[in-house]
Amino acid sequence: MTRYAIRSLLSHKLRTVLTAIAIVLGTAMMAGTFVITDQIRNAFSDIFGTSFAGTDVYLSQRPAFGSGTGQDQVGPLPASLIAKVRQVPGVAKAEGQIQASGSLVVNGKYVKSTGGAPNLVVSTLPKPFNQNTLTAGHYPDGHGQVALISQLATDHHLHVGQHVGLTTLQGVQAVTIVGIFRFGNVASIGGATVVATTFADAQQWYDRVGKASTISVDADPGISPRELRQRLVAALPHSVQVQTGTQAAKQQTDQVSNSINSFFTPALLAFAGAAVLVGAFVIFNTFSITVAQRMREFAMLRTLGAMRRQVLRSVLGEALAVGVAASVIGLVAGVGFAKLLGVLFRAVGFGLPLAAVKVHLWPGVVVPMAVGILVTLAASYAPARRATRVPPSAALREGAELPRTWFSPLVPYVAGLLMAAGIVLVLLGVTGSGPTLVRLLTIAGGAILSFVGLAMVSRYLVRPMARVIGWPLGLRGGASGRLARENTTRNPGRTAVTAAALMIGIGLVVFFSVLINGFKESFLGSIDRSVTSNLIIQNHNQSAPVPTAAVAAASNVAGVDSATGIAFTDVKIGNGGTDVANGVDPAELPRLYSFQWQKGGSNALLAKLSGTNTLVEEQFAKSHHLSPGSTFQVTSVDGRKLTLHEIGQYKDPVLFGGFMVARGTYAELATDSNPQVLLVRYAADANAAATTRAVNANLKPYPDVNVQTNAQFKASFSKQINQLLYLLYILLAMSVVISLFGIVNTLALSVFERTREIGMLRAIGTTRLQLRETILYESVITAIIGGILGIVIGIVLAWVVSLGFRSSGIVFAIPYGQVVVSLIVAAIAGVLAAAFPARRAARLNVLQALQYE
Amino acid sequence: MAVIAAHEVTRRYGEGGAEVNALRGVSLEIPAGQFAAVMGPSGSGKSTLMHILAGLDRPTSGTVSIDGTDITTLNDKKLTLLRRHNIGFIFQFFNLLPTLTAEENILLPLQIASTKPDAEWVEALIKRVGLGDRRNHRPAELSGGQQQRVAIARALVSRPTVIFADEPTGNLDSNTSGEILTVLREAVDEYQQTTVMVTHDAGAAAIADRVLFLDDGLIVRDAPGQSAGDIIATMAELSAR
């Protein structure tokens, strides 16, 4: 019987290949996800391994909480600590280092990092801490000297002896390139720029006088890093985090790669899961059709004395063979998919360092294999069961039909129930309070249920939908249009499942389009409503601040009415989670920002914001049970505590979440009091264009800041969101492609099934072109049914999810243009899918087709 | 002893006004080694009778036994085992698996039963039905007559208690029909194979040891083997009544 199963697969190569592709793509995405997340992790592991190779013990400020962003600005240590460390017995050497954000200015032009990677400035460490390799010149040893990482020098044609600028919190500093180095053995770390200065310069330029970001310690011979760490822990205050070099390397690798992968892995796996789900529909449909076509065969096997179990095994055997082969191919293709992802990430601005490809048995091989095989088996189980129900007497009759099971009349109810349960689950996942993973899985499970439910219901929708969609075709296409419409409704179940596969892809596209559009509209709407400035200024590198000096430089411009910086940072609230502390200038802010005041809040009150007084966002007040007059404790990332008094509330969940305090108070909560955003408002009588030019001129010493009008700011935000959307579209395109193969498969099998009928149509005068048209229309009708169902379920799911985010100010806004485009994509998929089966039908030899048995 | 015994078998399809009495009380016994033909016009109930005798359908009332076992009360599993070991089928449309070669098709029943084929027996069988040089061909590469030879060998391979042949010549031209009937008759003679053949082809029925005439759900005549001409005459006489 196994031989029979394998033979059957081999003799239907095309069908087998099309079925297998459905699983190949899904498993490839899954395998590729594991490959690339492993590459990311290994790359950071290499980077930090190199960084810490010569460090025995590493000292830094102990963070009061994990902010989860991975790039904790934990704040510096006092430089006096270095001398204290040197006194501890067993310490051979101890050196401080400054780490900051800044980049070069070459010929008046600011040098950006590629792909959103950081612009690092570090002070030079002596050996053995310094693990870099000089390729030219020497390391900086005097004021105004810098050394560059090799890739940076190559990219911008920089050489030793050249004079360039370096952006600092004190404006651009004139520096001379004295050396070029490789990081360990490599020319670059991701797309990051690295500039090395002297310790003293870095302290001066980056507001770190008398401080050190970190201290690296070398042990005396014979003293192990662990031993030395113990001694330093004993000698130093608790606020200092003491790690061996190995521990620090591991922690930083974990922190950075986890912060990236904790987002990428589930997101990519979700898209792979969508592809696998679509594949499951395609497999289910293909097996259903072939089982129906092979009823005679199964009946004959039963007359020869085959048990139901044997029939079941032979069909599942075919599925197993397809599943195994497809999963293996998928694994191999996964490496290619990982490469593609790397290219995609770079294209949309995530320039991540990637190590060499390594494939691990767990989870990289086992999970995609298991999912591929199990999904194939599960999807073919129902058709296989149906094969066992073929009565042996069907071998003796033509046109035997399967007995209806007790389940068939229940289908619409079960389907409705599944859909309802799915939507409830999504709602629970969105509004629930459990761990994020559980909630995401609940949402995913709910989405799958509602997709399956809608697929089951859709067989009842096929007839009316085909009638409406096919109507214009009928007007134009004459007989072809009518035949096509009738063909799609001939076996509504088959059309429904074929359409359902496409429905999932289109549904997810619409879901994300609507959701992200809602997010975009909320953000842009908030800016329009609240921001009354003319300019919105940020650092080019959005994780870096705007120098405080730049705020003054902007406000000194003639024609500028007001300029104010807004700073924000994460703080711990009470004993619970973290939220955002905003540092504002109470006197200036109301002129540039319009608040929606709630309980007690007002512009007058804002003017009084000082000391421990705070104004809080409505949602923040709600989750911490605050009202005007109540107090709460906050802890800064470097462990300073402050008790704040609420004096009023405002509503602005999108732009001003958390709470706000005066800039003076903010300094006690932040390790860096430079603002992240600078708003500038022009005087009513000022010439806007001229003032913009003047602001730009005055900010020339700060080329790392990006001066944008509100319109430009909104445009660049929209551009970033759209890039994210394009990435999603590309990932979802896989699902659409799989469903396209599903349509090809269904049509090809239908053509095969109707061979005799097609022969008859040709014999009575149907032209090849008419026949092709019939298949084409049939395909397009099916695809549009899938597209419409997808749009409906996508919008419904997005609406349900948006309910959960309503309190965060995210609105529900349908991007009609994108919805229409997705319907057009569905129609195009239908046209593409029809090409091959239509050609096949048109090429049938009339005589042979008529004799076909 | 009778290999097949049917007693007062009736079969009713449908209910109420739409009911059809396909069999209205058929009793018969087929002794071992006999080649019986069931003749009758279409709608006479001959197919229904064969389905019930072969355990593919259940009678509304009455009993059927094969080799002394009452098959009307067997469950699906036992019926399957009965078909596997005791019954062979020959179909009008051959019903070969297109993906298997002629020889593999012949061996299929043994494979299903996980029985090791007796090489000598299989060899003799393939020679008997005259497929020596075509054993490695796929059904699509065989003529209708050759395909039916494969089907005959497949029915014989497990040495069943009884073979049911359903219009075995119904899909063949008259020359080929003649060849196939000869093969079938010779095989029955050589292996003492009890066979029940349903047909409306008088030429086919003429090779049988016994001809049962069925009309309107009843056996209207039970005659010994006779010539095609006599059979046609009997049919004409019956339809004239």
Backbone dihedral angles phi then psi of residue A340, each to the nearest 5 degrees: -60, -45
Is pLDDT at A405 greater than 90 in this prediction?
Answer: no
Contact list in A for residue B57 (CB cut-off 8 A) is 393
With contact defined as beta carbons under 8 Å apart, do A44 and A236 qualify? no
Cα Rg, chain B, nearest whole Å: 18
Which residue of A lies nearest to B154 if distances are taken between CA atoms? A304
Q: Where are the extended beta strands (E) located within chain B?
A: 2-13, 20-31, 35-39, 61-66, 69-70, 87-90, 162-166, 194-199, 210-215, 218-224
3-state secondary structure of B2: strand
Confidence band (pLDDT; 50, 70, 90) for B97?
confident
pLDDT bucket at B59, cuts 50 / 70 / 90? very high
Using CA coordinates, name the residue in chain A closest to B110.
A304
Contact A11 B93 (CB under 8 A): no
A696-752: pLDDT as tens digits: 999 988 998 999 999 999 999 999 899 888 888 888 888 999 999 999 988 988 888
The single residue listed with the structure tokens 């007839």 is A463
A772 pLDDT more than 50: yes
Percent of chain A with pLDDT over 90: 58
CB neighbour class for A250 (10 Å; exposed up to 12, middle 13-18, buried from 19): middle
**B98 contacts A395? CB cut-off 8 A:** no
Chain B residues lying within 8 Å of A11, measured CB to CB: 98-99
Condensed to tens digits (0 to 9), the pLDDT of residues A830-849 reads: 999 999 999 988 888 887 77
pLDDT value of residue A476: 64
Of A296, A297, A305, the CB nearest to B109: A305
Angstroms from B104 CA to nearest CA on chain A: 10
Cα(A601)–Cα(A608) distance, integer angstroms:
11
pLDDT at A266 over 90: no
A330: Cα within 13 Å, side-chain hemisphere: 36
Average pLDDT of span A787-795: 95
Least confident range of A69-73, A616-620, A762-766, B98-102: A69-73
Residues making up chain B, counted from first to last:
241
Comparing alpha-carbon positions, the chain B residue that sits nearest to A853 is B93
Beta carbons of B211 and B28 less than 8 angstroms apart: no
Mutate which of B99, B110, B136 to disrupt the A interface (most A C-beta within 10 Å)?
A: B99
The percentage of residues in chain A with a pLDDT greater than 70, rounded to a whole number, is 97
Closest CA to A364 of A49, A19, A70, A41: A41
pLDDT at A681 over 70: yes
- At position A15, the amino acid (one-letter code) is R
* Rg (alpha carbons) of chain A, rounded to whole number: 33
The answer to whether A67 touches A578, Cβ cutoff 8 Å, is: yes
Q: What is the pLDDT of residue A71?
A: 40
- The enclosing H or E element of A618 equals helix A618-623
B124-166, pLDDT tens digit by residue? 999 989 998 899 999 989 999 999 999 999 999 999 999 999 9
pLDDT of residue A245: 93
Q: How confident is the model at residue A675 (pLDDT cuts 50, 70, 90)?
A: very high
* B99 touching chain A per CB within 8 A: yes
Give the C-alpha separation, A24 to A28, whole Å.
6
Q: Which residue of B has its CA nearest to A299?
A: B95
User: One-letter amino acid identity for A744?
Assistant: V
Contact of A4 with chain B, judged by CB distance below 8 Å, is answered with yes
Q: What is the mean pLDDT of chain A?
A: 89
Contact check, Cβ <8 Å, A395/B89: yes
Nearest to A305 among B93, B98, B112 (CB): B112
Question: Taking CB atoms and an 8 Å limit, are A392 and B56 in contact across chains?
Answer: yes
Tokens 């000869």 — which residue?
B182
Put simply, the answer to whether B83 touches A396 (Cβ < 8 Å) is: no
Integer angstrom CA distances of residue A327 from A22, A279, A376, B30: 10, 12, 10, 56
Q: In which band, very low, low, confident or very high, does the pLDDT at A68 lie, cut at 50, 70 and 90?
A: very low
pLDDT in tens, A485-506: 888 888 888 899 899 999 999 9
Contacts of B97 in chain A (CB under 8 A): 4, 297, 300
Nearest residue, CB atoms, A395 vs list B47, B77, B91: B91
Contacts of A399 in chain B (CB under 8 A): none
Q: Which of B97, B141, B166, B198 to mutate to test the interface with A (most CBs of A within 10 A)?
A: B97
Distance CA A837, CA A15 (A): 12
Interchain CB distance below 8 Å, A300 and B154: no
B56/A391 touch (CB, cutoff 8 Å), yes or no: yes
pLDDT band at A72 (very low <50, low <70, confident <90, very high): very low
Segment B162-178, tens digit of pLDDT: 999 999 998 899 899 99
Q: Hey, are the CB atoms on A303 and B83 less than 8 Å from each other?
A: yes
- Nearest chain B CA: its distance from A749 CA (Å): 17
Kindly list the residues from chain A whose CB atom is less than 8 angstroms away from the CB atom of residue B100. Answer: 4, 7
Burial class (CB in 10 A: 0-12, 13-18, 19+), A625: exposed
**Looking at residue B240, what is its pLDDT?**
77
In angstroms, the separation between the Cα of residue B88 and the nearest Cα of chain A is 7
3-state secondary structure A32-55: HHHHHHHHHHHHHHHHHHHHCCCC
Mean per-residue pLDDT, B195-219: 93
Q: What is the mean pLDDT of residues A206-231?
A: 93
> Which tens digits make up the pLDDT trace of A409-420?
888 899 999 999
Are A194 and A122 spatial neighbours (Cβ–Cβ below 8 Å)? yes
Interface test with A, best of B76, B80, B100, B163 (most A CBs within 10 A): B80
- For chain B, the straight-line distance linking the first and the last C-alpha, in angstroms and rounded, comes to 34
User: What's the pLDDT tens digit per position in B13-38?
Assistant: 887 778 888 999 999 999 999 999 99
pLDDT tens digit sequence for A134-161: 999 999 999 999 999 999 999 999 999 9
Closest Cα to residue A737, out of A505, A447, A499, A503? A505
